[in-house]
Amino acid sequence: MWSERRTFLKASLLAGGGLALEAFTAVPARALAAAGGAGALATAAAHGELTAFVSIAPDGIVTITAKNPDMGQGTKTSLPMMVAEELDCDWAQVRIVQADADTARYGFQMAGGSMSTPTSWMPMRQTGAAARAMLLQAAAQQWSVPVAGLTTSSGRITHAASGRSCGYGEVASAAAQLAPPAAESVPLKQPGEFKIIGRAIAGIDGPRVLRGEPLFGIDTRLPGMLYAVYEVAPAHGGRLVKANIEAAKRAPGVRHVVPIIGDGNADSGLADGVAIVATHWWLANEARAKLDVQWDLARAKGHSTEAYRARASEALAKGGGHELRRDGDPDAALASAATRVSARYDYPFVAHAALEPQNCTALFKDGKVEIWAPTQSPGPGRELTQKLLGLPALEDVTVHVMRSGGGFGRRLMNDYMLQAAAIAKALPGTPIQLIWSREDDIRRDYFRPAGWHALEAGLDAEGRLIAFTDHFVTFGQGENTARGANFTLTMPPADLIPNLRFTQTTMPTVLTTGWLRAPGSNALCFMSQGFLDEVAHAAGKDLPALMLELLGEPRVIPPFGGRGVPFDTARARAVIEKVLETSQWRTGATGARGAAGAARAKGFAFYFCHRGYFAEVVDASVADRAVTVHKVWVAGDVGSHIINPFGAENQVRGSIIDGLAQALVGQAIDVVDGVVQQSNFHDFPLARMPITPAIDIAWVHSDHPPTGLGEPSLPPVIPALTNAIYAATGTRIRSLPVKLPAA
């Protein structure tokens, strides 16, 4: 666990006076091994990665560096809250600055996987507490009194016995001369003493956003900057043959037209394309029509949604597949079952569609490149850029991390950064801002991969689930799955029943696939909790009853294969019980739950991912094939504390509506010969205000370190909705997005 990783502190005097305190945490051996033990991460490993950086100026202003990008998930506010809490200062004294990409200094800088909270909980607090301890020691020395006689409050130190007091800033320079304490030795506050953690604090960038100040990557403005588009092949994997460069050059406002041959890495490298650079982005975009590009699209031939579906159907009918996990003897158990239930489920490709389109600003000058990027993954982007441009040192690439207008996993990939860098290199000395059109953004997404499942379950004579099999058809080559297309081997009911088998068949795709908020889980939860609802009905019970029965006695199940996160059945039970209570599931306050044909009913689902336990109930009605979601109840356990209720509830509300949108508004990406058919919000719709239900959030606090909230509340809402639709109408939804049959 990260909470057990050792943290080392280093103090120094600020240039203008005051205390600078840095906390270095050992780089996990596994992360280092994954990075090949090379490059900047190895440098970070030598001294540890800088997890927290706080400075206290002579005027008492506390500056805390946010090392990870913020794309709306709120860590730029919530992580500094941890530091400020233990430092015991007022939030009004705190300033937050965004760090540039610097792997050698910060180690991994990434916003993804709901990881920021769990990895920061101890180091951030230890750093704040250590800074406070040093300030206290400096004051004690100055006043020649024992430290024990000093107290702090709101960024001031008081010696009650003598009535003396001073602000932190007044002793900050003196504190900088002291040796920092061992991080683990500094006493932390008791939870009852928290003044900042647990308070609803508004996001730090809010005022600037509401005044329309430049803040996002797309807002970057540099002297002499030009605007660029990058025309790529209509089909994924297409190669550039020729283009009418001169015609595009003659278009109004166009300054440069640059054909670029990519690096041949169609998955995560630089795609072939033609850059048009103009005085205004709109002029660059208009000139695309003049290019008349010829592409070689042969590679994408036959890569169509229909063909994928047919292949998947064939594979499921044939059975077999590569065995991922087998427990007990599922075939024998199925053969002996009193009741067998089987079904097929599927879900489509989905685009991320963050509202700020992919963009990146770059300036190549004197053999170095400077980049301003809204990215979730600045460190890897920097290394990829160095490699692509063939620059001698990582220091030749500077990446300024800009606020991202949404991420959802899309900006973990840095393809747009490589494009901007390549264009900038072709135009040395001219800053360029590459902006993708919305159409570029939808068509060149790293899509949540589609998937197909054949499921079978066996119940014994007493209605107990004794066997479960899932044959998963996904994308990849042989046993290797495409990015974001892998199975979760701990998906319930794994580890909860004796006989189980997961098998997998892959097929290749030319589409780029990737991680969408709650990767894997956002699809697997729909399929597995939907199917288990069918199993529960076959056993004459409801899904929460089946889940509670499967979870059984409170116990901690170690991660399958020894890697990953343990699963605590007591925590799972607690959130299920909680949501049954808040939604009045058992007393049935709304609709005729479980009675097929009712127009309005509730549905339930549970899931565990990203260390968060979530149980959810959806109250929905169906009329004229249209689904209305009235209310969603959420019960979640993400540990002992909700750091910032403002941010936390925003993450949950957003996840719930995001999940409902995936099911209800018609989100599906189709492809024909490698060409994505959707292009903008008319054919790839997003949630709008009218679909927003009431959302009731209940936290279950457990005695575990806090974990992240960017993702884990999303997956259950989809099957909770489809299970509600079944309860209301008798129609089982086994395919996303939801389509109801004509009456």
Between residue 269 and residue 298, which ones bind other proteins under the rule CB under 8 A? Answer: 279-283
Residues 6+ apart with CB under 8 A from 445: 351, 352, 353, 410, 512, 514, 669, 676
CB of 287 or CB of 482, closer to other proteins: 287
Q: Which span sits near other proteins by CB under 8 A: 209-217, 319-327, 604-612, 666-674? A: 209-217
The distance of closest approach from Cβ of residue 84 to other proteins in the complex, given in angstroms and rounded to an integer, is 10
What is d(CA 181, CA 171) in angstroms, rounded to the nearest whole number? 17
The distance of closest approach from Cβ of residue 634 to other proteins in the complex, given in angstroms and rounded to an integer, is 10
Q: Can you tell me which of 85, 219, 415, 534 binds other proteins, judged by CB under 8 A? A: 219
| Of 667, 419, 407, the residue nearest 514 (C-alpha) | 407
The distance of closest approach from Cβ of residue 280 to other proteins in the complex, given in angstroms and rounded to an integer, is 4
Q: Can you tell me which of 17, 58, 234, 406 binds other proteins, judged by CB under 8 A? A: 406
The distance of closest approach from Cβ of residue 155 to other proteins in the complex, given in angstroms and rounded to an integer, is 14
The distance of closest approach from Cβ of residue 714 to other proteins in the complex, given in angstroms and rounded to an integer, is 11
At residue 642, the 3 state secondary structure works out as coil
- Looking at residues 39 to 78 of the shown chain, list those that interact with other proteins (rule: CB under 8 A): 71-74
Please report, as a single letter, which amino acid is at residue 180: P
CB of 404 or CB of 503, closer to other proteins: 404
- By rule CB under 8 A, what count of residues binds other proteins? 73
Q: Can you tell me which of 244, 650, 702, 731 binds other proteins, judged by CB under 8 A? A: 650
CB of 219 or CB of 415, closer to other proteins: 219
Residue 171 in tokens: 């002793």
Q: What are the DSSP calls for 298-337, one per residue?
A: GGGTT--HHHHHHHHHHHHHH---EEEEEES-HHHHHHH-
Q: Can you tell me which of 6, 95, 221, 322 binds other proteins, judged by CB under 8 A? A: 221
CB of 9 or CB of 287, closer to other proteins: 287
Question: Secondary structure of 681-696 in the HEC alphabet?
Answer: CCCCCCCCHHHCCEEE
CB of 244 or CB of 279, closer to other proteins: 279
Rg of the chain (C-alpha set): 27
CB of 296 or CB of 696, closer to other proteins: 696
Q: Can you tell me which of 405, 476, 712, 719 binds other proteins, judged by CB under 8 A? A: 405
- Under the criterion CB under 8 A, does residue 661 sit at the interface with other proteins? yes
- Looking at residues 231 to 260 of the shown chain, list those that interact with other proteins (rule: CB under 8 A): 252-253
- Looking at residues 77 to 116 of the shown chain, list those that interact with other proteins (rule: CB under 8 A): 91
At residue 117, the 3 state secondary structure works out as helix
Q: Can you tell me which of 15, 148, 210, 393 binds other proteins, judged by CB under 8 A? A: 210
The distance of closest approach from Cβ of residue 356 to other proteins in the complex, given in angstroms and rounded to an integer, is 5
What is d(CA 714, CA 695) in angstroms, rounded to the nearest whole number? 13
Q: Which span sits near other proteins by CB under 8 A: 7-15, 102-110, 203-211, 598-606? A: 203-211
Q: Which span sits near other proteins by CB under 8 A: 119-127, 155-163, 213-221, 507-515? A: 213-221
Question: Secondary structure of 384-440 in the HEC alphabet?
Answer: HHHHHHCCCCHHHEEEEECECCCCCCHHHCCHHHHHHHHHHHHCCCCCEEEECCHHH
Q: Which span sits near other proteins by CB under 8 A: 56-64, 126-134, 571-579, 644-652? A: 644-652
- Under the criterion CB under 8 A, does residue 191 sit at the interface with other proteins? no
CB of 71 or CB of 546, closer to other proteins: 71
Q: Pairing state of beta strands 432-435 and 359-365?
A: antiparallel
Q: Which span sits near other proteins by CB under 8 A: 17-25, 123-131, 217-225, 259-267? A: 217-225
- Per-residue binding letters, 336-375, with other proteins (x by CB under 8 A): -----------------xxxxx------------------
- Under the criterion CB under 8 A, does residue 200 sit at the interface with other proteins? yes
| Of 658, 669, 667, the residue nearest 737 (C-alpha) | 667
Residues 6+ apart with CB under 8 A from 211: none
The distance of closest approach from Cβ of residue 214 to other proteins in the complex, given in angstroms and rounded to an integer, is 5
CB of 591 or CB of 693, closer to other proteins: 693
- Looking at residues 409 to 438 of the shown chain, list those that interact with other proteins (rule: CB under 8 A): 435, 437-438
- Under the criterion CB under 8 A, does residue 621 sit at the interface with other proteins? no
What is d(CA 415, CA 438) in angstroms, rounded to the nearest whole number? 16
CB of 581 or CB of 696, closer to other proteins: 696
C-beta separation of 232 from 271 below 8 A:
yes
Q: Which span sits near other proteins by CB under 8 A: 121-129, 198-206, 342-350, 461-469? A: 198-206
Residue 83 in tokens: 């530091």
Give whole-number Cα distances, 482 to 378, 418, 652, 662, in Å. 22, 21, 28, 21
Q: Can you tell me which of 136, 201, 384, 609 binds other proteins, judged by CB under 8 A? A: 201
**Total length of the chain:** 743
Residue 45 in tokens: 């490993």
**270, containing H or E segment:** none
What is d(CA 355, CA 601) in angstroms, rounded to the nearest whole number? 33
By CB neighbour count within 10 A (0-12 exposed, 13-18 middle, 19+ buried), where does 653 fall? middle
The distance of closest approach from Cβ of residue 252 to other proteins in the complex, given in angstroms and rounded to an integer, is 6
The distance of closest approach from Cβ of residue 227 to other proteins in the complex, given in angstroms and rounded to an integer, is 6
Please report, as a single letter, which amino acid is at residue 741: P
The distance of closest approach from Cβ of residue 585 to other proteins in the complex, given in angstroms and rounded to an integer, is 18
Instruction: For 698-723, give one letter per residue: b (16+ CB within 10 A) or e.
Output: bbbeeebbbbbbbbbbbbbbbbbbbb
* DSSP-derived secondary structure letter, 216: B
What is d(CA 214, CA 1) in angstroms, rounded to the nearest whole number? 38
Strand partners, 363: 370
Q: Can you tell me which of 123, 379, 636, 647 binds other proteins, judged by CB under 8 A? A: 647
Q: Can you tell me which of 203, 269, 594, 666 binds other proteins, judged by CB under 8 A? A: 203
Residues 6+ apart with CB under 8 A from 600: 590, 591, 619, 620, 621, 622, 630, 728
Q: Which span sits near other proteins by CB under 8 A: 169-177, 240-248, 401-409, 492-500? A: 401-409
The distance of closest approach from Cβ of residue 582 to other proteins in the complex, given in angstroms and rounded to an integer, is 11
Please report, as a single letter, which amino acid is at residue 376: Q
Please report, as a single letter, which amino acid is at residue 74: G
CB of 253 or CB of 259, closer to other proteins: 253
C-beta separation of 379 from 397 below 8 A:
no
Cα angle vertex 56, ends 54, 61, to 5°? 110
Peptide bond just before 705 cis, omega within 30 deg: no
The distance of closest approach from Cβ of residue 645 to other proteins in the complex, given in angstroms and rounded to an integer, is 4
- Looking at residues 662 to 721 of the shown chain, list those that interact with other proteins (rule: CB under 8 A): 680-682, 686-690, 692-697
- Per-residue binding letters, 563-592, with other proteins (x by CB under 8 A): ------------------------------
- Under the criterion CB under 8 A, does residue 213 sit at the interface with other proteins? yes
CB of 353 or CB of 511, closer to other proteins: 353
Q: Can you tell me which of 20, 218, 258, 350 binds other proteins, judged by CB under 8 A? A: 218
Q: Can you tell me which of 368, 653, 701, 732 binds other proteins, judged by CB under 8 A? A: 653
Q: Can you tell me which of 272, 534, 658, 711 binds other proteins, judged by CB under 8 A? A: 658
- Under the criterion CB under 8 A, does residue 645 sit at the interface with other proteins? yes
Tell me, rounded to whole angstroms, the distance of Cα 683 from its chain centroid.
24
- Under the criterion CB under 8 A, does residue 228 sit at the interface with other proteins? no
What is d(CA 352, CA 678) in angstroms, rounded to the nearest whole number? 13
CB of 42 or CB of 225, closer to other proteins: 225
C-beta separation of 110 from 411 below 8 A:
no
